[in-house]
Each structure stands twice: as C-alpha cells, then as structure tokens.
Structure 1
C-alpha cells in the first residue's frame, strides 16, 4: 500500500458535534489515520448552524473544507476529490445525500477505492428494504466497500444480501487524546447521568430507562444532557443541563455515580452497535449502566466492566444496590478494557489493513 494515502471524506461534520453524534467518531478515526501518515480532506456542508456551535477549530490532523449548501460548489469539490486514492461518502451528510451517493460512485477509477461509510446502518437498511425503488439499492454493488459504525453479523448479512461486495464494521472507540479521567464537576453530581439528543426512536427508551427510575428514586439526583429535552415533562429530581460540549464530556462522565447508555430502537434491533459515548464514558473511568443489546459481551464483560438492565425497574434496582466503591471498581475495569482493545488506533489499523489488501489485489489484477 502507498505509504501516504490521500483520502477524501464527505461527512456531516468533523468540527461540530451539534446535532451530530458522529463528530467524535470521525475525529477519532481521522486523527488515527493521520498518525499513520495518511492525509485526509474532510468535506462538510454549512447546515444546521453547526459552524456556529463548533467544538473545535480546524485541526492540524486533517484539512477541513466547509462548503455552502449548493450543488454547484459541491460539484467542484467532487472534481477536486476525484484525485484522491480513497473517496468516502458517509451516510447522513444532511445535504444532497442522494446526489453524493451517486456522484461518488462516478469517481471510481482503476487505481482508487470508493467507500460508503454508514454511520446509521439500521436506518439505511430499514429504508432500502422497505422501498425497493430507493436509488441507493442500485448503487450499493458499485462501492468497493461498505463500512459501518456498528451492527455486527446481522448488518453484514443484510448489506451483502443487498449487493455489497464487502461490508465491514468499524466500531466506535475511545479517543485517548480527548476522553480521559478528570476531577468531578459539582454541576454534574448525581446518582445517574444520561447524555443524548432527543430523537423519536430513542425517546420511549429514555422514558423507560431514565425517567421512570428517577420518578421512583425521588431522593436521588439525576442529570440529563443533550439537545431537545427542554419542554419534556420530567420529575423534579432530574436536572436538565442542555447541550454538553465535548470539552465537558469527561466531567459529565466522571462525576456521577453511574452513567446511562440508551440505544436508539434501530441500533438495539440489530445489536453490536455500542454508541460512541460508551467508549468515551469508559475512557473516563465511568461506571456504565446500559440497556440490553445483542453483542454487549463482544466489547465489555457484563457485571464486571459494564452493568446491563433490561428495563427501568432493573436500572432502579442496580442504582439502589450500587455502592460508590463498586461503581469505581467497574469503571476502572472498563477503562482498562478500552485502552487494551477499543481505541481509535485499533480501529484505524483494521481500516488500513482492509484498504491495503484491496489496493494490492487491484494492483495485481492490473499487472
């Protein structure tokens, strides 16, 4: 493989996590690729006021191109990106997604790779399988790879059933540069904290796993972070802190006795889809309580490195019995596991090996 790959990446945003849960995932992967010597240009649209709510300035580990919400500019950037060795179209860019899905495929050459990177595979698969006329159905076989944010064998099987040449999960992970243990912050003090934007396919699970236990444990303090919850009816002992910027994630994870992970319905359905925040919380040494999803044990050992609840009653029971000492022990075990197996360096090594193998195979076929 070339020592220094040029990679063009069309995604939602790498500089802003505002209404953009994939931001830290992109940062971790791209930063790790940069450390390996590869050059990434990340193209993102100026939409949803994300540029007004940046978490970071343009980083030194990739070139960021923010483009206006118009197709003419985008067509020019596609011509620029066509010179890259690897061209990636992520799902959920938020502007001209259908156009980009097709346009990136048109950039295929003998000596480059075209990749679709699905950061919400369950939603994409549900969409295309419920609508055979969806234009993306015909495009899937034209990509060299489909990479996914999670999903395990069920997602691999579904994508390959729909024509993917090869589907490979590149799971979320820990960015050790940004997520690590810090001192507690009083404003996040409580028995249980949950961080997540208000989304239709998550809200019912938040009511069950977070709001219901809060009502029953009225003497305990609960912390809710994320956008969109301001008008949500909730008990008095839940403190809503709004959008939590990335710089405050460590304190949010380190301060309460435990932090809660709640899967979106679609992610829980397919399993094998740990949210980015699971690894971020583990990287801060947090004691994590998660709703059940298939494949948890692939990443953490239940009972030792993570606590698993099937419903709100089980969350309540866990919190009632969980001592601060036990919570700390579980958090430390999770911290050790992510450092050993689940950093973005681990994920980028997998990605590099996949790209290397494919480029080598194509070069051999040409010779």
Structure 2
C-alpha cells in the first residue's frame, strides 16, 4: 500500500537491553520490520534497572535510540522532541514515570498526529484498573486514538472496548528472522527439557507445576532453567540453573535441548491468545515446543503436530517420558515451517500499516 512513511516516536522500556525486560525482542522485531517498510522510529528508553549496563546490542541502524535519565526533566525533554512525530506510542511498563507519560503523550495528540497506547502486558494492565476504580489510566483509555496489545484476542479487545477504547487491536508476537534461526547445538544447553524465563510473582507457581514438578518426576532426564532470579530456588538435582541467558545465546538455547518449555504467566494464561515471544523464537530455531495450555493455541500452531500441549506438570512429565529425538525433530520442523509462513514480524508490520493507514484515511475524510 503506497502511503506516507511515518515518523514514529516510541516510549518503551528498552530496545537495546533484554535485562529484566521481556518485551525487548518484541520491540526489536516490530521496530525493525517497520523500518524495513520505510518508517522511521525513534525509541525513547530510560536509564533504569541496570539495563544500559547489561545491553545485549549496540544502537541499531534501523532505529534511533534515545536513552534519557530517569528524571521528570528528562522525560519532558523527550516529550518535547517527540512533538515532531507523525505518531507517538506509549508502551506499557516503561518502568519509570509511566503515569506521567500516559498522561502527557495525549497532549501531543492533534488531527494530524496519532497517539497510541501499546500494551505489552494487557492482562496485567486490565487486572490493575479493574481492581482500582481510582486508577488514572481509566480516564485516559478513551482518549487514545487506539490501543494496540501484545496479545489477548477477543477477551482483551472486549475488555478494553468496555473501558471506552476507540479501537483495540492485538499485534501478536512473532518471529524476527534476522535474529532467531536454527544454529548448531551448544553443549552448555544440552538436556532433555529447557525453560527460559525470569522469576516473576505471577509465573513462579506455574514454573513449579509445569517445570520443577516434571523434573522431579523424571529423575532419569536432565533439565535446564535460564533467566534471572532463580538462584535460590529449590530444585531437584537433575535441574541445572544457567542464570540470565543473553539474546545472542537464545538460538543455541532453543536448538540444543530435545524440547523447550513455554510457561505462560498466570494472567496471560487466564485471558488466552497470548503466546509469549519465546514461542515464536523457539519455533524459528526449529525447536520442539511443549506449552502449558491456554485458549487460542490452535490460532497459531496445530497441537500435536506443530506444538505439544500440557494442562499440568504430570502431562509434561508424560510427554517427556514418551518423546523421542525423531518425534521432537519432526514437531520442531513443522513449527518452523508454520512460523515462517504466517508469524514473522513482516506479517505483523503489514497488519499494523493497514491499520494505521485506514485510521489516517478516516481522519482526513472526517476533516474534509
């Protein structure tokens, strides 16, 4: 579709560091794909949570990265700079001055400039506002031109529309083919089943059920857990903890084990239609994925052929007891074919372009 290429100002947690920042690879995939479509993105991220000290990439050539101090003064300076954009995006979970940004970006809204809220953790946001009638964000939702979400399907769309959102559209996670692809196995990650995810309050109980319990039931097999925060967690002797896994090692982490496990956070599983970024990353590396059950899995992958599904830890243990190397390879290859055909960030960027151009067209017609 030929139309104006957009100058986009994007306020998010971090583009250059995945440290305590699970949305990093999602941002990278979306922003890179938008750049390849000809749009220009300036990504504003705060110097917070030691992310800049734990970068896993240099500033890319497909986006301008502005790192600002975690002060109000610096935030306002970035907002002033963003006033030159065609579209301003405020992502959820920036980590510092979120309320200020949610409020102040709306002051940049004009007939010519879209202001969008991009929720990378919609279930958590919706739970928060439903539990606090005084939450400032409730009165801001109807003011945004649209709400984009990292996932959630109809349940999240309907929940946002019920709160007054003009339009809510999921832009799902996907595969960034430039960064996630099959590689040679790495002995550091050799095991039967691996799980990668930071230790978070609404994930921990599910990790105990879907990963640590099956490990304890299958003592003749080996398990690896990666991510921040698990160091003092009690685990059976056949579980190895490898700490934070940098994105440069994600492909090897996904390619090497017989299978990799996806465990949704509790809120994501409850709303459904919220595949984690790592599902697509693992599929892009040709991994055999076992996932906990959530509504909408078959919207993305065919259970039993392209992904294996478990409703509890006992089912994970049973799957692992029967899973052969040949079967795991067959499932991984099927997932790889599916993700390339339907779930890359190029697919998502094209969806987003159509959405934005339709919005711009409607606005122009309304003003005519």
Whether these two folds match at TM > 0.5 is: yes
Name the structure 1 match of 2:207. Answer: 206
Conserved 8 A contact 1:222-1:239: yes
Secondary structure of residue in 1 paired with 2:242: strand
Equivalent residue number for residue 42 of structure 2: 41
Structure 1 unaligned runs (5+)? Answer: none
Measured against aligned partners, the alpha-carbon deviations of 1:242-267 in whole angstroms (never above 9, x if no partner) come to 00000000000000000000000000
Mark the runs of 5 or more structure 2 residues left unpaired by the alignment: none
The question of whether the paired residues in 2 share the 8 Å contact of 1:8 and 1:43 is answered with yes
After superposition, where does 1:169-180 map in structure 2 within 5 Å?
169-180=170-181
Partner of 1:308: 309
Give, in angstroms, the shift of residue 3 of structure 1: 2.7
Q: Structure 1: how far apart are the matches of 2:230 and 2:166? A: 41
* Residue in 1 that maps onto 2:87: 86
Q: Within 5 Å, give how 1:98-117 maps onto structure 2.
A: 98-117=99-118
Alpha-carbon deviations, 1:56-83, whole Å to 9, x = none?
A: 0000000000000101111111011011
1:213-362, aligned counterparts within 5 Å? 213-362=214-363
TM-score of the aligned structures, taking structure 2 as reference length: 0.99
Following superposition, which runs of at least 4 residues in structure 1 exceed 6 angstroms of deviation? none
Within 1, Cα distance between the matches of 2:75 and 2:251?
36
Aligned residues between the structures: 367
Using the alignment, how far apart are the partners of 1:235 and 1:105 within structure 2? 51
How far has the Cα of 1:365 moved from its partner? 1.5
Distance, in Å, in 2 between the alignment partners of 1:4 and 1:314 is 49
In the alignment, structure 1 residue 139 sits paired with structure 2 residue 140: yes
Contact 1:10–1:42 under 8 Å retained in 2:
yes
Q: Deviations over 1:118-172 (max 9, x none)?
A: 0000000011111111110000000000000000000000000000000000000
Encode CA deviations 1:256-289: one digit per residue, 9 max, x unaligned.
0000000000000000000000000000000000
Shift of 1:237: 0.6
Q: Distance in 2 between matches of 1:180 and 1:257?
A: 16
Question: After superposition, what is the alpha-carbon deviation per residue over 1:279-331, rounded to whole angstroms, capped at 9, x for unaligned?
Answer: 00000000000000000000000000000000010001000101000000000
- Counterpart residue number, 1:160: 161
Find the counterpart in structure 1 of residue 25 from structure 2. 24
3-state SS of paired residue (1:116): strand
8 Å contact kept, 1:261–1:277? yes
- The answer to whether the aligner puts 1:118 opposite 2:119 as a matched pair is yes
In the TM superposition, residue 363 of structure 1 has moved relative to its aligned partner by: 1.1
Asked if the contact 1:3–1:37 (Cα under 8 Å) also holds between the matched residues in 2, the reply is: no
Distance between the aligned counterparts of 2:182 and 2:17, measured in 1?
A: 23
Partner of 1:196: 197
Query: Cα offset for 1:2?
Result: 4.2
Tell me how far apart the structure 2 counterparts of residues 354 and 162 of structure 1 sit (CA, whole Å): 21
